[in-house]
Structure 1
Amino acid sequence: MTGTNNGAAGESGSSPSRFEILYEDNHLLGIVKPVNIPVQEDATGDPDLLTLLKEDVKERYAKPGNVFMGLVHRLDRPVGGAMIFAKTSKAASRLSESVRTHAFQKVYLTVVHGQLPGAEARLEHTLLKDPKSNTVQAVREGTPGGKQAILDYTVIGTAEGYSLVRIDLLTGRSHQIRVQLSDVGCPLYGDQKYGAAVNRPGQQIALWSALTRFPHPVTKEEVELLSLPPRSYPWNLWTPQMQKQAIL
């Protein structure tokens, strides 16, 4: 079962959603997360995606009472793309187990400054988060509180001093992609937190959740959510066909 930007299978009798739905049934809701919306309520008090989705489902299906919406994985506030939510506690539990057993695949596209060392490689770091500043840094292995972070990257193409890169995330650490690539000298385009020296204020970070693949928590069929980045700079330096081919 595949969901793309072009539409989805939803429950019968629903009205249109305010979100771009990639996949929907009685157990799951897959959407394109808009950029610059927090997934969960945070200190800013800005509207968060989880609350907005509950309201959306409640309105579309005229559901009485509270609506369940389970958060299975997260995306940083400035990041957009494919994201799956559970509509029942059973689905949430089973999807969380898929994450733990690495049956839950997440592929990202990103645009970075410069050229990475090699066309493809695995990056392994120890990352330490400072909750007070909401920042993460790469530290020496064995540092108290540090957590192992692993990703695989593949360079898809280069243009105008930038590289389009596929990221296969093997661990799910906070700010992981942003910190690891910055640490090897290739900060993400638009990343003000880990690439302030080469980015301008106001630039949108070029990191996109392009593919999410996992076994359906009930039917066990493979579910695949596909979302390509917007056709804005610097994404438009490469064709959608090239981007899609790179992630499938």
Structure 2
Amino acid sequence: MKEYSIAKNDSGQRLNKFLEKAVPRLGGGQMHKYLRLKRIKVNGKRAEASLRLSEGDLVQLYLNDAYFSPVREDEAFRLISSPKLTVIYEDANILLADKAPGMVVHADESGDADTLIAHIQAYLVQTGAWDPADAASFSPALCNRIDRNTGGIVVAAKTAEALRILNEKIKAHELIKKYLLIVHGAPTPPSGQIENFLRRDEKRKQVTLHSARVPGSKTAITRYRTLAKNGGLSLVECELLTGRTHQIRAHMASIGCPLLGDGKYGSNEQNRPYHEKGQALYAYSLTFRFGDGAGALSYLNGKTFRVKDIPFVRKYFPGFQLS
């Protein structure tokens, strides 16, 4: 028997949603079966899948140990019966997904198997685009990644050739990525470029900026322009000329305009009135601007793909239209 004590962060959600995350090997059909058989209980009593959990509740699972073994990332897609995926574009070679804030792209140190790549692979299996039973089959893979709390466009390669080409093009900076963000204050000047050296602190999971190169630092360049203002907030578009960890967050904070909702590089006091749980940052635009050697992906050259509806833009800048 395994028992989970419901903490504050897990309270308020349905029992079935909690079980999907806590026991990913337990499929939906098995879950309902074991609820009927009283092998899943809450506070020692029979429970329905729709039960809303409260802080302090005890979820008791009388299940085989195999259900609690860690899920390997390369098999996580098998546990997803209904992929949660917003597809912006898809063809025989690539898939562009709009990742929701809060979802991880790959399994992290928490061991969370509910990842974007797992949902993409499950979707491709169910649409017949990928057959993992083929021993020689290429496993669809992500070409870029964005942070858990950042939403936006992620590129997946459906073939080995597409993955090779895209990795080369990303390294050559031939994929142009633009972000929308909301910051406190107003950038001065309204448009400009921030360039310095960024160093990552692995222990603190944070970066520092330096005017001169220091050991372990890398060049970081961000181009920005202010699109709109509303009270003490500004809507800004950023283009990454380099793709460093936390680059936009650190750069905007360095000019006195930290991102709305960013507690790491911003101020909790500034963020508190807005009740935002994560930074207002979205990878909303992707342009393929290839030089030579695009090969099988040359048809993508010059094409731009955008996310049209971004919740925080709609909330704080309701009259603003994304072009």
Task: Give the alignment's TM-score, normalised by structure 1.
Answer: 0.84
Deviations 1:151-179 (A, max 9, x none): 11000111121111010110000010001
Q: 1:224 aligns with which of 272, 284, 304?
A: 304
Q: 1:199 aligns with which of 271, 293, 298?
A: 271
Query: Which residue of the partner structure matches residue 28 of structure 1?
Result: 94
**In structure 2, how many angstroms separate the alpha carbons of the residues matched to 1:105 and 1:233?**
21
Contact 1:228 1:240 in 2 (8 A): no
Equivalent residue pairs, number: 228
Query: Which residue of the partner structure matches residue 317 of structure 2?
Result: 237
**In structure 2, how many angstroms separate the alpha carbons of the residues matched to 1:173 and 1:231?**
25
Query: Which residue of the partner structure matches residue 19 of structure 2?
Result: none
Deviations 1:196-235 (A, max 9, x none): 3322365332101111111576141233221034334674
Pick the structure with greater CA Rg.
2
Q: 1:98 aligns with which of 160, 169, 173?
A: 169
Identify, as 1 or 2, the structure richer in helix: 2
Contact 1:107 1:167 in 2 (8 A): yes
1:145 deviates by 0.2
Query: Which residue of the partner structure matches residue 131 of structure 2?
Result: 63
**In structure 2, how many angstroms separate the alpha carbons of the residues matched to 1:17 and 1:232?**
24
**In structure 2, how many angstroms separate the alpha carbons of the residues matched to 1:37 and 1:195?**
22
Query: Which residue of the partner structure matches residue 190 of structure 2?
Result: 119
**In structure 1, how many angstroms separate the alpha carbons of the residues matched to 2:92 and 2:297?**
12
1:119 deviates by 1.7
Larger relative contact order, structure 1 or 2 (CA cutoff 8 Å, min sep 6): 1
Deviations 1:119-146 (A, max 9, x none): 2100002111112222111124121001
Contact 2:227 2:234 in 1 (8 A): yes
SS state at 2:311 partner? coil
1:20 deviates by 1.1
1:86 deviates by 0.8
Q: Using the TM superposition, name which of 173-182 and 202-211 deviates more.
A: 202-211
Contact 1:86 1:92 in 2 (8 A): yes
**In structure 2, how many angstroms separate the alpha carbons of the residues matched to 1:181 and 1:152?**
11
**In structure 2, how many angstroms separate the alpha carbons of the residues matched to 1:202 and 1:111?**
12
1:29 deviates by 0.6
Contact 2:138 2:160 in 1 (8 A): no
1:57 deviates by 1.4
Query: Which residue of the partner structure matches residue 6 of structure 1?
Result: none
1:238 deviates by 4.3
**In structure 2, how many angstroms separate the alpha carbons of the residues matched to 1:43 and 1:196?**
26
Letter in 2 for 1:113: H
Query: Which residue of the partner structure matches residue 131 of structure 1?
Result: 202
Q: Which runs of 5+ in 2 are unaligned?
A: 1-81
SS state at 2:169 partner? helix
Query: Which residue of the partner structure matches residue 260 of structure 2?
Result: 189
SS state at 1:63 partner? coil
Give the 3 Å change call, closer, same or farther, for CA 97–233 of structure 1 in structure 2: closer
SS state at 1:151 partner? strand
1:39 deviates by 1.2
* RMSD over aligned Cα atoms: 2.1
**In structure 2, how many angstroms separate the alpha carbons of the residues matched to 1:165 and 1:232?**
12
Give the 3 Å change call, closer, same or farther, for CA 163–109 of structure 1 in structure 2: same
Moved over 6 A (4+): none
The aligned runs of 1:207-218 (5 Å cut-off) are 207-214=281-288, 215=290, 218=296
Give the 3 Å change call, closer, same or farther, for CA 82–42 of structure 1 in structure 2: same
The aligned runs of 1:5-44 (5 Å cut-off) are 18-44=84-110
